[in-house]
Amino acid sequence: MSVHGRRLPLPASVVRRAVHTVLRGERRRATVSVTFLGRERMRRLNARYKGHDRPTDVLAFTLRQPTGPDLADVYVCAAVAAREARAHRVTLRQELIRLVVHGTLHALGYDHPDGEERAQSAMWRRQERYVEELA
């Protein structure tokens, strides 16, 4: 599948399945869009909204709705994901699924501490259960 002549780093069907699996597992309703960005566009988003002038792997933004499902945008940088996949010795597909799940959980309001404690957090454990199911 491609968008505007570009091949997506992860098939749309896999992205939809990941988002739906998280929403179903968390018993939540939300409209979630997932966008794959290049390194420079992700750097600009991260600088503007998080104050970090570097690309990151995933960003999530949520608009809470007083009635009806929340609206969420998840942005994933495949270039940063590729670097992380190599560093953690996992496939790019698995890392991209992890980031879609991670961003969706953030969009639902989950959070984790920074640093080494992150991998021990409840959110991370929840994320890894979904990744294991999906990857």
Residue 7 scores a pLDDT above 80: no
Residue 4 scores a pLDDT above 70: no
pLDDT tens by residue, 13-50: 999 999 999 999 999 999 999 999 999 999 999 999 99
Residue 79 scores a pLDDT above 80: yes
Instruction: Determine the pLDDT at residue 2.
Output: 36
Residue 95 identity: E
Instruction: Determine the pLDDT at residue 1.
Output: 36
pLDDT tens by residue, 85-120: 999 999 999 999 999 999 999 999 998 888 888 888
pTM across the whole model: 0.91
Tally of domains within the chain: 1
Instruction: Determine the pLDDT at residue 132.
Output: 94
Instruction: Determine the pLDDT at residue 3.
Output: 44
Instruction: Kindly give, in sequence order, each residue whose CB lies less than 8 Å from that of residue 108, ignoring residues fewer than 6 positions away.
Output: 22, 23, 26, 28, 30, 62, 70, 72
Residue listed under structure tokens 């929840």: 126
Q: Quick check: 33 and 72 in contact, CB under 8 A?
A: yes
CB count within 10 Å of CB 85 equals: 19
**Average pLDDT over every residue of 59-74:** 92
pLDDT-derived band at 5 (thresholds 50, 70, 90) equals very low
Instruction: Determine the pLDDT at residue 20.
Output: 97
Residue range of the domain that includes 77: 2-134
CATH number, domain with residue 93: 3.40.390.30
